[in-house]
Structure 1
Amino acid sequence: MNYQWYPGHMTKARRMMQENIKLIDLVIELVDARIPISSRNPDIDELGKGKSRIILLNKSDLADPVWNKKWVEYFAAKGMGVLEINSRTGMGIKSIQGLVQEVCKEKIERDRKRGIVNRPVRAMVVGIPNVGKSTFINSFAGKACAKTGNKPGVTKGKQWIRLNKGLELLDTPGILWPKFEDQQVGMRLAFIGSMNDEILIPDELACDLIGAIKELYPKALQERYAADPVGKPIEILEAVAESRKCYSKGEQLDLVKASGLLIDDFRSGKLGRMTLERIDSDNE
């Protein structure tokens, strides 16, 4: 299957972020911990030059804990603050404030030398669709936050949310679509649900996912579906259909239904904690 992206507003989103980036001190970027590189937009590194950076490995509860640690080390080595979080449950959210102070300490110190005390750090949250950005903002901001109104020099309509005395969030967060020429990137995005499932072919997506899982976590297929991990992806999908009693009329295996179950099991973590993207020479 050809995985393709249709970014209707990519140029508009990029322009909006370019405009907003001048107003902020810090870029907080959410990525999916299961595919930390594929779920990034490479433009963010260029747009965020000269700004403090934080990477949040969201949905880290669904990712392999061993690889979570390796990805934390990978991004930290690039000079970014990094945290494992789960924006849905709130895991790791309380640690963000301390990390903000740490990555922005030079800016805070510079302000202090100029006699500017208690000026909050201004941050922008960015991420691709379905990476959990809205959930994160709601969890991070909570109910106690107050909009502080338009700042001088800020385009009319932009609002700042004061999270606490040390941090303000621009409430027009950047949504950037990933650009990919590599079909593997598109495929991984389809696995986690960042592409519209309606434009995908379920059994082909499921077979691609089985291929990735059997390479990295073969036991998971055996344990959940009693499938032989040595088999071809289509044979494993048939085993999924049999184990879950997915039959259509005439007692034929319903591979489309089985595909949906398999994909849902992966996305919800029922297959176990998995990281489908590894650090290799291409990432270094």
Structure 2
Amino acid sequence: MSINWFPGHMNSTRQAIKDRVKAGLDVVIELLDARLPGSSSNPLLAALTTGRPSLKVLNKQDLADAAQTAAWLDFYNAQPHTRAIPLDAGEKTPARALIKACRELAPLRGDIHKPLRVLICGIPNVGKSTLINTLVGKRAAKTGDEPGITKLEQKFVLENGFYLFDTPGMLWPRISIEQSGYNLAASGAIGRNAFDEEEVALELITTLKRRYPEQLQARYGLTELGAEDAVLEAIGLKRGAKVRGGAVQMHKAAEALLIDYRQGLLGRITLETPDEMAAWRREAAEDEARKAAERDAAQAAEKVKRNGRRKASSGEA
């Protein structure tokens, strides 16, 4: 599922990040969703902040598969100039570990003469505002369960010589990796008008059947897992998503499943592994290359046709 969801404030965020980089930036904190650490990593952010040390924070780790979180931490910690830590945004002690990690990434900065300038970014609805409120110790940033709560850049002084710049949640203009689109939509990172909830719920069931079948069965009291639409219909029956006459309202069933997943009621679930993400990226790159070749061939063919018509109209041999 290819998704195009880039509201106007996200374009403003992109420009704000460019301006922050020009003004001086020492460390970039990217808050990731621990349930989808690859899909929630923003390639646009990486391009905008090339060369800056990066701290990858796998937030909502309490909702993710612990073994898979460990695998993703190993993956990111193996990258140059990068550290990765797990986190639950509302917990005070782990949140303070961010300051320590940032100071280790930029050891020559962090006093009143050379303050440590840190930019914190993340996709919408990943828990960034909750984390900032925990760090600051007061309700400094608005929070909510819908993407797009933060709309302007904010600056916080966490300690002497430690400046934190917050930006609104930002996706990228086109999500070309199909499975990432599904995973982001399932997590709540994408505005609900940008995707079909039933389609996303069916894809989520496919993933759950493959990776966490027992948890899916336990949540809804299912004795077997058949086709995805049959499972979704059974979920609708369990959750009372019926219309007059007893038929299941599939859209309501999809909403129920997605809400349960986002709230962690299905158990600790991670939707992707590092190897899967690498394979999806390769497939997307190959697909983009194929489409580009097809466009080039079509343009070349059209150019030949135009030249032929021009010669014919001018009477050239």
**2:13 counterpart of 1:7:** no
Q: What secondary structure sits across from 2:31 in the alignment?
A: strand
1:280 aligned counterpart, secondary structure: helix
Match of 1:154 in 2: none
Contact 1:16 1:174 in 2 (8 A): no
**1:272 partnered with 2:273:** no
Of 94, 97, 100, the residue aligned with 1:98 is 100
Which residue does 2:60 correspond to in 1?
59
Distance in 2 (alpha carbons) for counterparts of 1:265 and 1:98: 35
1:277–1:229 Cα change, 3 Å: farther
Q: What CA deviation, in whole Å up to 9, does each residue of 1:70-99 have, x standing for no partner?
A: 111111101312111121344620211221
Cα distance in 1 for residues equivalent to 2:163 and 2:225: 52
Match of 2:45 in 1: 44
Choose from 84, 89, 96 the match for 1:87: 89
In the alignment, is residue 258 of structure 1 matched against residue 253 of structure 2? yes
Task: Quote how far apart the aligned CAs of 1:166 are.
Answer: 4.0
Matched, 1:17 2:11: no
Task: Write the letter of the residue equivalent to 1:7.
Answer: F
Distance apart, 1:206 and its partner CA: 1.5
Paired residue secondary structure (1:55): strand
- Three-state SS of the structure 2 residue aligned to 1:51 is coil
What are the equivalent positions in structure 2 for 1:1-284 lying under 5 Å apart? Answer: 2-9=1-8, 10-22=10-22, 23-79=24-80, 80-90=82-92, 92-105=94-107, 107-108=108-109, 119-143=114-138, 160-171=155-166, 173=167, 175-178=169-172, 179-280=174-275, 283=278
Distance 1:159 1:8 in 2: 19
Q: Larger Rg: 1 or 2?
A: 2
Shift of 1:168: 1.1
Query: How many angstroms apart in 1 are the aligned matches of 2:171 and 2:240?
Result: 38
RMSD (Å) for aligned C-alpha atoms: 2.5
Q: Could you tell me whether the CA contact under 8 Å between 2:153 and 2:168 is conserved in 1?
A: no
- The whole-number CA distance in structure 1 between the counterparts of 2:100 and 2:237 is 50
In the alignment of these two chains, the number of paired residues is 264
Equivalent pair of 1:144/1:163 in contact (CA under 8 Å) = no
Distance across 2 between alignment mates of 1:236 and 1:159: 45
Q: Secondary structure at the match of 1:246?
A: coil
Distance 2:191 2:256 in 1: 17
Paired AA for residue 253 in structure 2: A
What do the CA deviations read for 1:229-268 (whole angstroms, capped 9, x no partner)?
A: 5410011112212223332111222322222111111110
Q: Distance in 1 between matches of 2:235 and 2:153?
A: 50
Asked if the contact 1:127/1:133 (under 8 Å) is kept, the reply is yes
In the aligned structure 2, how far is the partner of 1:235 from the partner of 1:194? 27
Q: Which runs of 4+ in 1 moved over 6 A?
A: none
Contact 2:59 2:88 (8 Å CA) reproduced: yes
CA contact (8 A) 1:221 1:229 kept: no
Which amino acid in 1 is paired with 2:131?
F
> Take 2:113 and 2:60, find their aligned partners in 1: how far apart are those partners?
33
Aligned partners of 1:191 and 1:209 also within 8 Å: yes
Deviates most, 86-95 or 263-272: 86-95
Which deviates more, 131-140 or 59-68? 131-140
TM-aligned CA distance change 1:144 to 1:100, over 3 Å: farther
Percent of residue pairs identical: 31
Letter in 1 for 2:212: Y
What TM-score do the two structures reach when normalised by structure 1?
A: 0.84
Query: Partners in 2 of 1:197 and 1:66 — Cα distance?
Result: 30
Unaligned 5+ segments in structure 2 are 141-151, 280-317
Moved more, 226-235 or 54-63: 226-235
Question: Which piece of structure 1 moves more, 75-84 or 252-261?
Answer: 252-261
Separation in 1, partners of 2:18, 2:159: 26
Measured at CA, do residues 197 and 91 of structure 1 come closer, stay the same or move farther in structure 2, by a change above 3 Å?
A: farther
Amino acid at match of 1:37: G
C-alpha contact (below 8 Å) 1:5/1:195 kept by paired residues: no
* Cα distance in 2 between the residues matched to 1:87 and 1:126: 14
Q: What secondary structure sits across from 1:249 in the alignment?
A: coil
Distance 1:118 1:73 in 2: 35
**Greater helix percent: which structure?**
2
State the alpha-carbon separation in 1 of the partners of residues 218 and 153 from structure 2.
51
Displacement after TM superposition at 1:118 (Å): 6.2
1:1-30 deviations in Å (ceiling 9; x for gaps): x44222133543322211101322111111
Structure 1 unpaired stretches of 5+: 146-156
